[in-house]
Amino acid sequence: MMKRCWMAAILLAVTFCLSGCLFNASVEELYSLPQLPPEYTELRERIDAIMAGGGEYAAPQSGSNIQPVQMVDLDGDGEEEALAFMRKSADERPLKIYIFRSVDDSYEEAAVIEGSGSAIYSIAYTDMDQDGLQELIVGWRVSTELQALTVYSLKDFQPVELLRNTYSRYAVRDLNQDGLQELVMIRSDDQGNTVADYYAWSDQTLVQRPSAKISVSIAELSSGRVRSGMLEGGVPALFVTGVEDSLFQVTDILAVKNDELVNITMNNATGVSTEIFRYQPLFPTDIDGDGLTEVPAPFDLAGWGSTDACYPINWRRYDLNGSPSLAISTYHDVADGWYLILPEEWKKRVTISRDDGDPDEIAVTFAIQGSDTEPYQEFLKIYTISGSSPEYKITQGSRFLLSRQAETIFAAELLDANESWDFGITEDELRSSFKLIVTEWASGDD
């Protein structure tokens, strides 16, 4: 615990220095580590020596590990190794990952991984073959348009390159359920098609198996997502979503069948996934908490006039054959940060409108659609209240509280038509169906 605390101090000091607060300090001074216990003093001196020899920090640009110095137990012995990400511009292979091992009360250099390109793009640590040792998955920024991925084993701290290939996105997941972690790399082939290369373990190394085709281009994938998820029956899968000109989103689902990676939603006749929907800023997720991954499929309600901010969604789960089934339906109000689980009976009778004329009190109204000659009957309003005196506003009429956040209050009101409608909703049912949209924390692309 003490070592973690001191390493946090190192990273905090580096972050503070990078913020530009010390305007009169040199670059070397800005990157100086704070005074540390003896073992970290040794580490600092070794990093200082690298910098004195022309080195500079080159922290990974993307992913969840973006610190210039990282502490990771690579060999499973309970002691953390230190990894320093550096650049020596004068060297033939300028990008360096220095690995320092803890020995007694100091650190000594155990290995150096070198690479070419403009930057270290990303780093991930995963015990892919479950031997107790972490593999290093390194993304190298070769050029503006090109990245290369390399997987290294580190047995006895001797870096061995298991594979290297260009890529756009990658994912590590036990897709064949053998207890080991396979690698899927998505890239553009020589003909400009998008493919997913599949690497599985055989004889203690990663071996490439047949690739699977992807519907969307690399450019379309740049606005999309690659997510690990689960199919019916607990089958692991990858959900690859691309966005076409902000108009449509296409989801390919990759899974292993008969020991091969297949795109279970690919239409073999057209070469495109069957899962193409109007674009909304929503991506596959486990929306209902059942452990399975659902894909959002927007649809129109009766009398519906869709907006960019709000839309009804059918969330569909899939089996290994790519056949979908409905999980739940929701009304998503992304602009205000909430969604509502829709009863099935509402989908053919209800219309929804959003009034944002008062930015401090936005109202979404649910109404029952009658015949062509009958007016809509409003039965429910949901309010997003902010600004001054929000607590007072929820006391107006018959409003009741749904959720209280730091700067926003969500309230609702059941109107007259709700009581007389067979499919009306109670306060408790509404609270149970009302959910806040959790903003994703994006650490960067793999």
The residue out of 289, 307, 336 marking a domain boundary is 336
Q: Among 8-22, 55-69, 204-218, 338-352, name the one with the lowest average pLDDT.
A: 8-22
**Residue 212 and residue 198 in contact, taking contact as beta carbons nearer than 8 Å:** yes
Contacting residues for 60 by C-beta, under 8 A, at least 6 apart: 66, 85, 120, 121, 122, 123, 139
Q: Per the domain annotation, does 26 fall within a domain?
A: no
Q: Is the C-alpha dihedral spanning 164, 167, 171, 177 positive or negative?
A: negative
Identify whether 10 is part of a domain.
no
* pLDDT tens, position by position, 228-274: 999 999 999 999 999 998 889 999 999 999 999 999 999 989 989 99
In this structure, are 163 and 174 located in the same domain?
no
> Quick check: is 220 in a domain?
yes
Quick one: three-class SS letters along 286-334? CCCCCCCCEEEEECCCCCCCCCCCEEEEEEEEECCCCCEEEEEEEEEEC
Is the same domain home to 145 and 190? no
Per-residue model confidence as pLDDT tens digits over 373-404: 677 899 999 999 998 877 778 888 899 999 99
- CATH code, domain carrying 118: 2.40.128
Owner of token pair 């990093």: 47
Structure tokens that stand for 159 in this block: 């870096």
Asked whether residue 332 falls in the same domain as residue 201, the answer is yes
Tokens 């073992």 locate to 39
Which of 126-130, 184-188, 435-439 has the weakest average pLDDT?
A: 435-439
pLDDT of 106 = 82
Q: How high is the pLDDT of residue 371? A: 67
- Which residues form the domain of 414? 350-436
How many CA within 13 A on the CB side of residue 206?
A: 25
> pLDDT at position 348, please?
84
Q: What is the identity of the amino acid at 409? A: I
Domain check: are 366 and 275 in the same one?
Answer: no
- Residue 177 forms part of a structural domain: yes
Residue 334 sits at φ, ψ, to 5 deg, of: -65, -35
Whole-number percent of the chain with pLDDT over 90: 70
Domain-embedded: residue 18: no
| Final residue in a domain of this structure, among 336, 362, 392 | 336
Please classify residue 215 by burial: count the beta carbons closer than 10 Å to its beta carbon, then call 0-12 exposed, 13-18 middle and 19+ buried: buried
Looking at the predicted structure, is the pLDDT value of residue 22 above 90? no
Q: What is the pLDDT of residue 1?
A: 45
Do residues 53 and 134 both lie within one domain? yes
How confident is the model over 161-181, as a mean pLDDT? 96
Top-confidence residue, 146 or 434: 434
Residue 62 lies in a domain: yes
Looking at the structure, do residues 224 and 321 belong to the same domain, yes or no?
A: yes
pLDDT of residue 34: 52
| Residue 197 shares a structural domain with residue 302 | yes
Structure confidence by residue, pLDDT tens digits, 302-336:
654 445 456 799 999 999 999 999 999 999 998 89
Among 114, 142, 167, give the residue marking a domain's end: 167
Q: Do 160 and 200 belong together in one domain?
A: no
Q: Is residue 223 part of a domain?
A: yes
pLDDT at 446 over 70: no
Q: Report, in angstroms and rounded to the nearest whole number, the Rg of the chain calculated over CA atoms.
A: 27
How many structural domains does the chain have? 3
Do 318 and 234 fall into the same domain? yes
Question: Is residue 39 very low, low, confident or very high in pLDDT (cuts 50, 70, 90)?
Answer: low
* Same domain for 58 and 90: yes
Is there a domain that residue 33 lies in? no
Same domain assignment for residues 177 and 157: no
Same domain for 205 and 102 = no
